[in-house]
A and B are shown apart, each in its own frame.
Chain A
Amino acid sequence: MAYVKGTVINQIPYQPGICATYVDGEQQSLVHILISSAVPGTLVRLADYVNHLTAPALVVRVEVADHVQVILRDEWQPSSMLGTPSWSVHYTIGANAHVTIQQYQRWPTTLSGIIRTTIACKSDSATEYYGVMRGGASMEYDMQLLLEERASSAHVSLVIIVNGDQKAMITSMQRHTNAHTASTFLVRGLVKDQAYISCIGTVHLAEPASAANAAQKSAFLLDGVGARAFAKPILEALNNEVSCTHGSAVGSLDEEQMTYCRLRGMHEHEARTLLTRSFLTELCADQVTQSVISDQLQKLFS
């Protein structure tokens, strides 16, 4: 890794049980956050550890120790209007740890960038990820779920909202290389105006992944005369002791449902907002994420 500037290594002990170090560079900064202990339910905001960094490219490594239960919230906003910002977070989830990741990012309409998220799971760990992404002229989202150790699980629920001429390209990989692992990757997208969304998702079940369970589903709602979608759900199963499904759906708002809402006295705008919200939040069990989605929709439709 080459740094134009920055041999400064700092430590930021903002919260007990959490240790963060960073190397700040002009083009790229590297942050390492180690969560060695936490009271169950502790909320850790990644922004607190990175907001002082100004490089357009940030690489964050979050390490959660064994048996830790924690909520990690990622609301990073690109601070530079130059170049193509990239935001890479690599989570390592310790054995028996239980982690909830909430990633809410809204990028300026004029900015293009890359968001990479990698979740590597150790044995018997459970990770739930809820993401809401909006904005960016042309955004790439890359999600890697690495189920490398026995009985680990990772469940992802991602919502993407694009409008105007925005583009969102999602790639995902659910790589199961050990037995009794489980993963789901659920993505829902709202594509308005002339926006474009694509999702290329791969589920790979290697030979040692006996009794693995994997699911991948993408559903996109097209709400605009020029809205477009592309989906390529790939499935590779090299073991027969697995349960594996994938699916993708593309469609517009159901006219019957719209009529039903209108008949009950709702304005078209209200009906559209209601149906869109129910579509986007349907698979999201996290209350905080649901309110973020509602908030984003309100801003979008107002």
Chain B
Amino acid sequence: MPHPQKTDTFFKAKKGLNKTIVTQLSERKNEPGWMTDYRLSALEIFERLPLPRWGADLSGLNHNDIYYYVQPLEKQHTSWDEVPDQIKTTFEHLGIPQAEQQFLAGVGAQYESEVIYKKLKEEWVKRGVLFTDMSTALKEYPELFKTYFGTVIPSHDNKFAALNSAVWSGGSFVWVPEGVVIDQPLQAYFRINSMSMGQFERTLIIAQPSSFVHYVEGCSAPLYRKNSLHSAVVELVALPNANIRYTTIQNWSNNVYNLVTKRGIAHERARIEWIDGNFGSAVTMKYPCIILKGAGSQGQIVSIAVASKGQHQDTGGKIIHLAPNTTSNILSKSISKQGGRASYRGLLKIIKGAVRAKSRVQCEALLLDQHSRSDTYPTVHIDEPTADVGHEASVSKLSDEQVAYLQSRGLSVQAAHALIVNGFIDVFVKELPMEYAIEINRLIAMHMEGSIG
């Protein structure tokens, strides 16, 4: 896990949330009036909606003890050389080799609620791809921004979507023109780096017809004494024949409440994939959703959650089939250890008229000790008789037989356990870009230390 870096902040609003803070935030960002109104309206919804009564325990979350907006001292950079050494050190701690950093197609690093670094390959700019932070997009592409912002996840969707809508800051805006295929993934790293600071990035990705984009985000945070809140909103729009893949590895410190709303809409023959890895945090509640709106569209969710001592990973996926010949697949894996709790919570809904819709859901849980817990709470709702749906779930422990076999081949018990766990998550790791596969191996190795054997 990266070590904390001391950072001077440029502007920090008072703790807590009210109309003054929201207005102040909007004014500092020099936003148009409609956005200020949108934020204030969302604040009212946030205040009106109760905390969810299901899922993880959120009683330790104190909304009045959180900074809702912190703007960093550093300004936005366009060249890698201009990035301060302090920030580069942070990337080093995230484990990204320099060579790979240079290789990266474009990087937007979320540092204290602002995107401070971004780079986009020149050929992509020439091809019309927009990859910028949300505030810039609001200023430079107002019509495009307004057309899609909040259309997939409206502010009244849930309490934390309302919160994000009121105080969003930073996040990425991606617009891929028709027919453009981006070969290399767009990457952004996010980091909480101030005590009790809420982070409310908002990401919006629009893939025009027949385009392809792979967006990757990774999060890590230093350990602080007071609870932090991370409440992001991610909206994806895949227009006909487009393909969006969104990969996340979240590695929050153990005091963070990670409450995220992610949803994508797939139009005709479009495809959306969520690849989601959840480590760390005190509580994670995250259920990436795909709405298969167009005929022939496809959705896939592959996720892994690791719950350690004092952690509750309440994760899952939602897929809603609204059109004929749509297909979907959810694969969820979880590891619970040292008293941690991992829960899968999912929804699969096929409405009447979504003829020949097909879906498969598979949940696998690994319990590493007597004190841990694993739950699955899936919901399958089928209103279309021609649908073909399957759901499977299993809970198991490390197989004694496999351990004995590996020991007979000369491995220590510890090494055998680690190998089996790596095999368990292999399906997920295979979906990741190489540098993330390396990082997740490090995370797993770190998490396994002292937990088994």
Would you call B365 an interface residue if the criterion is a C-beta within 8 Å of the partner chain's C-beta atoms? yes
Does A238 touch B at the CB level, under 8 Å?
yes
Partner of B393 from the list A225, A247, A252 (CB cut-off 8 Å) is A247
**Which interface class (under 10, 10 to 19, 20 to 34, 35 or more) fits A?**
35 or more
Report the stretch among B2-10, B47-55, B84-92, B381-389 that lies at the interface.
B381-389
Size bracket of the B interface? 20 to 34
B390 touches A247 (CB 8 A): yes
Query: Once the chains are docked, how many angstroms separate the CA of A124 from the CA of B352?
Result: 47
The one of A226, A236, A248 in contact with B373, judged by C-beta atoms closer than 8 angstroms, is: A236
> What 8 A-B pairs are tightest by C-beta distance, nearest first?
A240-B367, A222-B385, A231-B380, A240-B397, A247-B392, A244-B395, A235-B376, A250-B389
| Contact A249 to B368, CB < 8 A, known contacts A233-B378, A237-B373 | no
> Do A245 and B393 have beta carbons less than 8 Å apart?
yes
A252, B395: Cβ atoms closer than 8 Å: no
Task: Name the A residues within 8 Å of B392 (CB-CB).
Answer: 245-247
Contacts known (A234-B375, A234-B377); A241 close to B393, Cβ less than 8 A: no
Known: A241-B370, A248-B380. 8 other contacts (CB 8 A): A230-B381, A233-B376, A239-B367, A246-B393, A247-B390, A247-B392, A251-B387, A251-B389
| A75 at the B interface (CB under 8 A) | no
Measured CA separation A199–B378 after assembly (Å) = 12
Q: Tell whether, in the assembled complex, residue B376 and residue A241 are in contact, meaning their CB atoms are under 8 Å apart.
A: no
Q: Does B369 contact A (CB under 8 A)?
A: yes
Q: Does A188 contact B (CB under 8 A)?
A: no
Taking a contact as CB atoms under 8 Å apart, the answer to whether B378 and A227 are in contact is no
A254 to chain B, nearest CB (A): 9
**B 193-210 binary contact with A (CB < 8 Å = 1; else 0):** 000000000000000000
Which residues of the partner chain A approach B382 to less than 8 Å between Cβ atoms?
A: 220, 222, 228-231, 250
Chain B 268-282 near chain A by CB (<8 Å), digits 1 or 0: 000000000000000
Closest to B388 in A: A251
Complex CA distance for A222 and B383, rounded to whole angstroms? 10
Give the nearest-CB partner of B391 in chain A: A248
In the bound complex, do residue A231 and residue B396 qualify as a contact, i.e. CB atoms below 8 Å apart? no
* Contact yes or no, A242 B395, CB < 8 A: yes
B390 and chain A: residue at smallest CB distance:
A249
CB contact between B395 and one of A226, A228, A237 (< 8 Å): that residue: A237
Query: Can you name the residue of chain A whose Cβ is closest to the Cβ of B386?
Result: A252
**A-B CB contact pairs (8 Å), 24 listed:** A222-B382, A223-B385, A228-B385, A229-B380, A231-B378, A231-B379, A231-B380, A231-B391, A232-B379, A232-B380, A234-B376, A239-B370, A240-B369, A241-B397, A242-B367, A242-B395, A243-B396, A244-B395, A245-B392, A245-B395, A247-B390, A250-B382, A250-B388, A252-B386
Interfacial chain A residues near B383, Cβ < 8 Å: 228
Which of B385, B386, B388 neighbours the largest number of chain A CB atoms within 10 Å of its CB? B385
Q: Which residues of A contact B368 (CB under 8 A)?
A: 240
Q: Does A224 contact B (CB under 8 A)?
A: yes
Known: A224-B385, A245-B394, A251-B387. A232 touches B378 (CB 8 A): yes
Which residue of chain A lies nearest to B356 when distances are taken between CB atoms in the complex?
A252
Which B residues from 8 to 50 make CB contacts under 8 A with A? none
Judged by a CB distance under 8 angstroms, whether B164 is at the interface is no
| Minimal beta-carbon separation of B379 from chain A (angstroms) | 5
> How many whole Å from A224's CB to the nearest CB in chain B?
6
Determine the chain B residues whose CB is within 8 A of the CB of A247 once the complex forms. Answer: 390-393
Tell me which residues across on chain B come within 8 A of A242, comparing CB atoms: 367, 395, 397
- A241–B395 Cα distance when bound, in Å, is 10
Complex-state Cα separation, A86 to B150, whole angstroms: 49
| Interface assignment of B374: CB less than 8 Å from any CB of chain A | yes
Distance of B340 from chain A, by nearest CB (Å): 12
Asked if B300 CB lies within 8 Å of chain A CBs, one says no
Nearest CB in chain B: distance from A233 CB, A? 6
A241: shortest Cβ distance to chain B, in Å?
6
Which residues does chain B contribute within 8 Å of A227, judged by CB atoms?
Answer: 385
Question: What residue of chain A has the Cβ atom nearest to residue B396's Cβ?
Answer: A243
Q: Is A207 on the interface with B (CB-CB < 8 A)?
A: yes
A93 to B283, CA, bound (A): 42
> Please, which residues of chain B bring their CB within 8 A of the CB of A226?
352, 385
Collect the chain A residues with CB atoms within 8 Å of residue B352's CB: 226, 228
**A254 (CB) vs chain B CBs: closest residue:** B388
B349-364 near A? 1/0 per residue, CB < 8 Å: 0001000000000000
Beta-carbon contact of A233 and B373 below 8 Å = no
Which of A207, A223, A249 counts the most chain B CB atoms within 10 A?
Answer: A249
How far apart are B447's CB and chain A's nearest CB, in angstroms?
16
Residues on A with C-beta less than 8 A from B396 are 243-244
B308 within 8 A of A: no
Smallest CB separation, B393 vs chain A (Å): 5
Q: Which residues of B contact A252 (CB under 8 A)?
A: 385-388
Instruction: Assess whether B391 is in contact with A233, with CB atoms less than 8 Å apart.
Output: yes
Rounded to whole angstroms, the CA-CA distance of A163 and B385 in the bound complex is 13
B393 contacts across to A, CB distance below 8 A: 233, 235, 245-247
Instruction: Please indicate which of the listed interface residues B375, B378, B395, B397 has the most CB atoms of chain A within 10 Å of its own CB.
Output: B395
